[in-house]
Amino acid sequence: MLAVILIFCAGSVQVDLSTPKEAAKSLYRAVQAGDAEGIMQTLDADAEHQPLVSALAELLVTTKHLGDAAKAKFGDAAGKLGSGTNIPEDLQQVESAVVSEKDGAATIQIANQLAPMVFHKRDAGWKLDITDYFNAHDSIASQTKLLRNFSEQLKLATEEMVAGRFSTPAEAETAIQQRFNEVMIKSVNPSSQPATAPAK
Q: Is residue 198 part of a domain?
A: no
Q: Is residue 193 part of a domain?
A: no
Domain coverage including residue 66: 7-188
Q: Is residue 166 part of a domain?
A: yes
Q: Is residue 48 part of a domain?
A: yes
The mean pLDDT value of the chain amounts to: 85
Tens-place pLDDT, residues 184-193 = 998 887 655 4
Full-model pTM = 0.81
Q: Is residue 196 part of a domain?
A: no
- Above 80 in pLDDT, residue 150? yes
Q: Count how many domains the chain has.
A: 1
Task: Assess contact for 108 and 21: CB atoms under 8 A.
Answer: yes
Find, among 5, 16, 62, the residue nearest to 38 by Cα.
Answer: 16
What type of residue sits at position 188? Answer: V
Find, among 82, 70, 61, the residue nearest to 161 by Cα.
Answer: 70
Find, among 46, 5, 8, the residue nearest to 27 by Cα.
Answer: 8
Tens-place pLDDT, residues 10-48 = 446 789 999 999 999 999 999 988 899 999 999 998 889
